[in-house]
Amino acid sequence: MKPYPNPPEGLRVVSSPPLLILTLDRPQRRNALTDDIVLTLIDTLEAAGSDEDVRAVLLNAEGDNFCSGFDLAGRIGSGPRPRPGSISRRMPYLVNRLIPVMLEVQVPIVGAIQGWAVGLGLSLVLACDFAVAAEDARLRAPFTSMGITPDSGMSWLLPRLAGISRTKRMLMLGEEISGADAAAWGLIHQAVPADHVDAEALALATRLAASATVSIGLTKTLISRSSGRSLESHLGDEAFAMELSSRSADFREWAASRHQGRPPNFTGR
């Protein structure tokens, strides 16, 4: 395992090919995110998309909670209040970049969720390709109870995963749901006992990392783009992706393994 050079305080980045492991490490703040952590997550995930050694990403957290959102108290601190418009100036370069990067990078992301996943922390969960949560994890979007509105793509992600009615319960009423509820609603991949979360998430990330990387990445892109495309355009995208994936070494390996009557050994190429 190789540590990433100079990550910011509160984030551990470890290269363990074929996995990249990102660990939120501010348990004393329930792993609330800072500007530096968000920017590093963006840069690291963008780099992972072109790193031949990375075939899957595991996103987890230290301590009892996954992420309590953005650390607004830490940003404001004891200094002067920022001038009006600070939020709209910052967001395009921070959280409004992080969620699209998670959705668009052609590397599958697996999240391991325990304790609280709140606000931006919940958006991270929803943007993972697969999230494994503790059955008693607590997922909440408390924006309206604070007198503000959702951010980081929350009001875009939730309706697509949970439907309009459940989205209104979470966003307008601020209702909290458990990891078990999230799995039942289709928000996450799986809910398991709390002491199984890390092992199940690692097993899933390892399984993805051993899969046909080119076809996995292209399929993720097709799924991500499907909601904004007409069927005719999407069929063209599928044909293009099929052309690329059928030229991959992994497809040739699958054909050879079938002919030889053995399991395929995909190399991610």
Pair (161, 77) in one structural domain:
yes
Average pLDDT of 133-162? Answer: 96
Element (DSSP H or E) covering residue 202: helix 197-209
Measured distance CA(21)–CA(205) in Å, rounded: 10
Measured distance CA(262)–CA(269) in Å, rounded: 19
Pair (199, 243) in one structural domain:
no
Pair (201, 248) in one structural domain:
no
Average predicted confidence (pLDDT) for the chain:
93
Pair (140, 173) in one structural domain:
yes
The answer to whether 71 and 33 have CB atoms below 8 angstroms apart is yes
Backbone angle region of 85, left / alpha / beta, with phi > 0 → left and psi within -120 to 50 → alpha: left
pTM of the predicted model, to two decimals?
A: 0.92
Pair (219, 90) in one structural domain:
no
Q: Which residue has the tokens 């993720």?
A: 220
Pair (220, 169) in one structural domain:
no
Q: Decide: helix, strand or coil at residue 182.
A: helix
Measured distance CA(100)–CA(96) in Å, rounded: 7
Q: Is 266 a domain residue?
A: no
Domains: count for the chain = 2
Pair (24, 129) in one structural domain:
yes
Pair (155, 242) in one structural domain:
no
Beta bridge partners of 18: none
Q: Can you give the pLDDT at residue 219? A: 98
Pair (27, 76) in one structural domain:
yes
Q: What is the pLDDT of residues 168-206, one digit of tens each?
A: 999 999 999 999 999 999 999 999 999 999 999 999 999
Q: How far is CA 91 from the centre of its chain?
A: 18
Q: What CATH number did the domain enclosing 110 receive?
A: 3.90.226.10
Q: Is 142 a domain residue?
A: yes
Pair (199, 237) in one structural domain:
no
Pair (17, 130) in one structural domain:
yes
The length of the chain in residues reads: 269
In which domain, by residue range, is 227 found? Answer: 213-260
Q: What is the pLDDT of residues 18-55, one digit of tens each?
A: 999 999 999 999 999 999 999 999 999 999 999 999 99
Pair (97, 229) in one structural domain:
no
